[in-house]
Structure 1
Amino acid sequence: MADAEIENKEELAGLYDLAIPIGMPLSVVHELVDRFELEPVQRNAKIGLLDDETEEMEILVLRGDLETVKAAEKYMFEALDRRVARWDKNERSDRYKEMYDKNAEKRKQIVKERIADRKDEPLDLSI
């Protein structure tokens, strides 16, 4: 084994990698790095494909001690569950719909007033 490989293995002793699943929101990854003080690292790994084959790809991992990595993994999936729950609730669109509905009468009145004001004006069809 080459000296560089031995040194590299010694540097990594006691460190573990948390593989970040494809599609994990970037904000969750940032939270993990900040909250758990993990080191983001890109490394090659074999990825299982749908047809039972594997392919070597570069993936993002967060590196740290075992206890921290396990805590970060738990937090990562809890954070993802919270995000999915928010997406399922669709709170934002419900809130906008409520605001839209509240203002609908007001908008109708404004349109009616504009139509009434223009009723007396001659229609200009010239180009």
Structure 2
Amino acid sequence: MAENEQLYDILIPPGVPQKLIVDISKKFDVKVVERMEKLKFANMEGDERELLAFRGKLDVVRNVEKYMLEQLKVFIDK
């Protein structure tokens, strides 16, 4: 990836299997990064939590999102 190229993040929902995170990071041109995000849940409103995200080019991140959701559906349906 070029130094000045715009990069995008797709948050990894808590509970995603570690095996899937590793698979995606090897299969796609993305990096796994940590991001602080404010929570918007009833009893945690305003709290911040460190979450993982995939970072890469927009088209790649869109493909990662689609793949991740497909794989999570397969995992849940087992």
Q: Same fold (TM over 0.5)?
A: yes
C-alpha RMSD over aligned residues: 1.7
Identity %: 34
- More strand as a share of residues: 2
**Structure 2-normalised TM-score?**
0.85
User: Which residue of 48, 58, 64 corresponds with 1:72?
Assistant: 64
Residue by residue over 1:6-26, the C-alpha shift from the partner in whole angstroms, topping out at 9 and shown as x without a partner, is xxxxx5751000100000111
Quote how far apart the aligned CAs of 1:49 are: 1.4
Secondary structure (helix, strand or coil) at the match of 1:28 reads helix
- More helix as a share of residues: 1
Q: Where in structure 1 are there 5+ consecutive unaligned residues?
A: 1-10, 87-127
Residue by residue over 1:33-91, the C-alpha shift from the partner in whole angstroms, topping out at 9 and shown as x without a partner, is 111121011121112113472311111111000110010001001000001111xxxxx
Greater RCO, 1 or 2 (C-alpha within 8 Å, sep 6+)? 2
The residue type equivalent to 1:58 in the other structure is E
Q: Which runs of 4+ in 1 moved over 6 A?
A: none
Secondary structure (helix, strand or coil) at the match of 1:48 reads coil
2:74 is matched with which residue?
Answer: 82
> Is 1:53 paired with 2:75?
no
**Structure 1-normalised TM-score?**
0.55
2:10 is matched with which residue?
Answer: 18
Q: How many residues align?
A: 76
- Given that 1:46 and 1:55 are in contact with CA atoms closer than 8 Å, whether structure 2 keeps it comes out as yes
The residue type equivalent to 1:24 in the other structure is V
